[in-house]
Structure 1
Amino acid sequence: MSLSKFDRKHYTQGKTPIEYLANLTDILGGPEIYLKHDDLLGLAGGGNKTRKLEFLVADAQRQGADTLITCGAPQSNHCRLTLSAAKKEGMHAVLVLSETVPGSYREDAGGNNFLYKLLNPLDMIVVPGACDLNDTMHLHAKTLQAEGYKPYVIPMGGSNAIGCLGYIVCAEEIVEQANDLNIEFTHAITPTGSCGTHTGLLMGLRSLHVQTRVIGISVNYSRDKHVKRIAQLAQKVNNELFPERKIVIENDDIIVFDDYIGSGYSLPTEGMREAVHLLARCEAILLDPVYTGKAMAGLINLIRKGHFKKSDKVLFLHTGGSPALYHFADYLL
């Protein structure tokens, strides 16, 4: 599938590496475990949203925008990377931060919150968790327009049809690397939150007729809600971007486990703590406590329950987020 018709920025040089986790594979005694290092993508601190932003920022500039508006939680990797992209492009950025967990925003917090201040957004607005973030962003866009700015609104996680292109590209990259390594991945594991990464990866693989099973580990919502959201996003990608060559995704091809969320989004779990410790101490890899920590906890538990064959080859997508580790230091140590 050619994506050359879509405008795109390039924030990363070359492909992110795939690493065989020999120590973790031995410790768990299950399938061969590999890791795709999207934590090494470009922009400040890296992470999966960089791939989405390559297409979203290009679209914003095509429309003549000079200001990016987006939203997320107080420790949002997406907000950090959107702000980073804006600085890279000489644009402004406005962040709308939602207190998904009441009282979770602290002005003096470290992690991504510190990086927001270092990168210096045009404005940063904190709203209650019950607030409609899309309405808030669009209302602020109107205010900015009245002040002479040209805003472009990016949804939560960059997860719209254009954002999904980032992981359609990633799927192509994985297939090329798998061919070079002479590996056929049986499964790909991804954190599933706003669903753009999961949707793009699944659509990209199926567009190449690769049957690797994509397994999402939910970090926030129920399995049913994610399955519905991924199906809707896939339909939007087809209708808006590929009307002449649709990528068919059946509902039974959308696999999500919602057993590893714990008490809620961004709230620590013992499984996450074990996963963060294990990867740091046996593979020198830093996971984050909100996304990859919980996704790896899910993978570890599925291996222990015998979900995979010993002959399987499992690719874990590291979506970044390590700056948030410093915010959760008291819990993790």
Structure 2
Amino acid sequence: MTSKPFSLRTRLNEFARVELAHLPTRLEAMPRLQAEIGGPALWIKRDDATGLSTGGNKARKLAFLLAEALGQGADCLVTVGAAQSNHVRQTAAAAARAGLDCFAVLEDRGVSDSLAYKSNGNYLLDRLHGAQITRLEPGADGKVAMAELVERLRGKGRKPYAVPGGGSNPVGSLGYVECARELVQQCRDIGIAPREIVVASGSAGTQAGLLTGLRALGDMTPVLGIGVRAPRAVQEARVFDLAVATADLLGCPGSVARDDVVVDDTHIGAGYGLATETGLEAISLFARREAQLLDPVYSGKAAAGLIHHCRAGRYATTDHVIFLHTGGTAGLFGYCDLFGGEMGLS
């Protein structure tokens, strides 16, 4: 008997999911930004517009993670992130949608002591969605604290489901395998062959899932991750390991080669969550040229990387480059103190 050819759509449909996001997200041209900075034709994949609590990339991951949690009979979600975590905000929203409790462990990573950072933005939305928040002291290990919280909840008779930071495990990464399939079809429909896809690379699930999905489809479009936290070698290893595990879960092992994983770590600045001048410039340019809102932590730094490479001549003027917008708009309100004279704002 001959085996059936691998079908990504069929394989993805074998995994349970909960419909959380407004899909497909749009693929839009950015002609005014292109005219401003020069270089290739620029496109933006609007994963900031997934609809779950102001949108963002975590909605795709949580569709699969929440389905697994419900399948296991969970009565609450437990997760971890920074004080202005986009992931925690959307996890709290997903829990609220499903009628589950959400317990969130928030790390103090020394980003800011401002009132806005500690009480507004994503943190405000966490509370509005009903998340029960544990705030850690500086230097405390969030993963350890989350594991301890899970055990305490089990000891009380609860049925917690632990959602990893960023939703980035093989199950969560399926969300960006699905995004890859969606994006390939959109490019075919409008008749473009992208030279590269540029995306923020943090907890690794978005880049890993995207690469896995593209390669499973036989699409060799490069994906450039713009690192927001870890050095290049560390981040590339993290992305590759997760891509390998995701491909194994899908049943297409070996789809992603080590050379497929490329991360640019030169736009991190002083550290995770700490704004950079180039990131603030990118936020301003995207807002004023294309009415697109970025954040200083992820999408702003990724956009700074995109702008840098366009100006540096990485791409030909005949190329098409896609910026995958992972969201983060809510986080702007936690960083409102940054947007002053240096951007010409009052």
Deviation at 1:191, TM superposition (A): 0.2
Q: Which runs of 4+ in 1 moved over 3 A?
A: 102-108
User: Which residues of structure 1 form unaligned runs of 5+?
Assistant: none
CA distance in 2 between counterparts of 1:324 and 1:79 reads: 12
Q: 1:329 aligns with which of 330, 333, 336?
A: 336
CA deviations over 1:61-97 (Å, ceiling 9, x no partner) = 1111010000000000000000000000000000000
Stretch of structure 1 that moved more, 230-239 or 97-106: 97-106
Q: Secondary structure at the match of 1:130?
A: coil
Identity %: 41
Within 5 Å, give how 1:128-277 maps onto structure 2: 128-239=137-248, 241-242=249-250, 244-277=251-284
CA distance in 1 between counterparts of 2:126 and 2:22 reads: 24
CA deviations over 1:284-306 (Å, ceiling 9, x no partner) = 11111110001001110111111
Q: 1:305 aligns with which of 303, 312, 315?
A: 312
Deviation at 1:103, TM superposition (A): 5.9
Check the 8 A contact 1:187/1:214 in 2, yes or no: yes
CA distance in 2 between counterparts of 1:115 and 1:84 reads: 8
RMSD of aligned alpha carbons: 1.4
Deviation at 1:105, TM superposition (A): 7.9
User: Which residues of structure 2 form unaligned runs of 5+?
Assistant: 1-7, 341-346
CA distance in 1 between counterparts of 2:113 and 2:258 reads: 35
CA deviations over 1:224-276 (Å, ceiling 9, x no partner) = 0011111211222234x13x431421211111000001100111110011001
CA distance in 1 between counterparts of 2:335 and 2:58 reads: 21
Stretch of structure 1 that moved more, 312-321 or 7-16: 7-16
CA distance in 1 between counterparts of 2:165 and 2:332 reads: 21
Q: Which amino acid aligns with 2:119?
A: A
Check the 8 A contact 1:185/1:314 in 2, yes or no: yes
Aligned counterpart, 1:113: 123
Q: Secondary structure at the match of 2:313?
A: coil
Q: Which amino acid aligns with 1:299?
A: L
Aligned counterpart, 2:104: 95
CA distance in 2 between counterparts of 1:177 and 1:189 reads: 16
Check the 8 A contact 1:46/1:320 in 2, yes or no: yes
Q: Which amino acid aligns with 1:171?
A: A
Check the 8 A contact 1:69/1:154 in 2, yes or no: yes
Deviation at 1:114, TM superposition (A): 1.1
Aligned counterpart, 2:3: none
Q: Secondary structure at the match of 1:128?
A: coil
Q: TM-score, normalised by structure 2?
A: 0.92
Q: 1:317 aligns with which of 310, 319, 324?
A: 324
